[in-house]
Amino acid sequence: MLGIGEKRELPTILLIDDDLVSREVIATVLTLHGHLVHTADNGEEALEMLAAGPVVPGVILVDGQLPGLSGIPLLDQLRKRSQAHIYVISGSAVSGELTAASDGFLLKPFGPEDLQRLLIGHASEPEVPAPVAEDPAINPETLAQFRHIMTEETVREIYVALLTDLKKRAAALDRAIAAGDKDEVRRIGHAIKGGCGIAGALEVAHLGAFFESKSDQLDNCAAALQELYAATRKLERMLEKEFPA
């Protein structure tokens, strides 16, 4: 993705994130703030982009839990190929060793203002929002922020992509639970928590956190999957109301 309205004084950014929703939301926000943004969905692709030459970032944002090449080995390779500042982003805490190897850390979900503070060197780690008895389908503050910096059509496209991705992950969760694959349940839960959290889908994000932390309790995960289906339908109805065709 290449930024529109690029401001030359702002650093070019390479964003490495395997979660489609997180990647698109972050890239869109950065682009609308004036950055030129390139994206990659894994470490190998990012290294290829840097080796090819045209991508010369000033900042690299890299998810801390990528499939394949990841963590400190990836950071080492990125440092060999770029002079950029490297910031780790993740939906859960990362090791102290990884934090020390990077230039900073930001916990998902985070808002545009958190990301901007990170890029200017004044970031602080946001607190994970505590679950409430009745989470809204979409955090009103997040939706208002998106509408302030994006067109209505762009905001709608983000949430359509989120819903499409969420339905695929719910189906994958169903298969993983049936197969007793606890690692896959945990991985999918982590992805749901990160992508939906950054888009302000709090109810679904908290369910993702449950799958991530309780993946060894497959019976409870099966029950939570039904809650995920219900939350997805609630989110779909809310978006139909907010963004009528």
Strand partners, 59: 13, 85
* pLDDT reported for residue 127: 40
Mean pLDDT of 62-84: 91
Q: What is the rounded distance in angstroms from the CA atom of residue 4 to the CA atom of residue 10?
A: 13
Tokens of 83: 């002079």
Q: How far is CA 239 from CA 15, 199, 220, 244, in A?
A: 27, 13, 28, 8
- Summarised one tens digit per residue, pLDDT across range 180-205 is 999 999 999 998 988 888 888 888 99
Question: Which pTM does this prediction carry?
Answer: 0.68
Mean pLDDT of 5-28: 80
Mean pLDDT of 28-41: 87
- 28 band by pLDDT with thresholds 50, 70 and 90: confident
* pLDDT reported for residue 6: 43
* pLDDT reported for residue 175: 94
Domain ranges of the chain: 13-119, 140-242
The reply to whether domains 13-119 and 140-242 share a CATH topology is no
pLDDT at 22 over 70: yes
Strand 105-107 and strand 85-90: the pairing is parallel
pLDDT at 103 over 80: yes
Task: State which H helix or E strand residue 207 sits in.
Answer: helix 202-213
* pLDDT reported for residue 122: 41
Q: How far is CA 140 from CA 130, 135, 144, 200, 202, in A?
A: 16, 11, 6, 8, 10
Of 3-17, 47-61, 221-235, the range with the lowest mean pLDDT is 3-17
Rounded to 5 degrees, φ, ψ at 243 are: -130, 70
In percent, how much of the chain has pLDDT > 90? 35
pLDDT at 234 over 60: yes
Q: How many other C-beta atoms lie within 10 A of the C-beta of residue 148?
A: 10
The domain defined by 13-119 carries CATH number 3.40.640.10: no
140-242 has which CATH code? 1.20.120.160
Q: What is the rounded distance in angstroms from the CA atom of residue 231 to the CA atom of residue 181?
A: 23
> Edge-to-edge strand order for the sheet containing 85-90?
37-40, 13-16, 59-63, 85-90, 105-107
- Summarised one tens digit per residue, pLDDT across range 37-61 is 999 999 999 999 998 877 889 889 9
- Summarised one tens digit per residue, pLDDT across range 121-180 is 644 444 434 444 456 788 888 888 888 888 999 999 999 999 999 999 999 999 999 999
* pLDDT reported for residue 177: 93
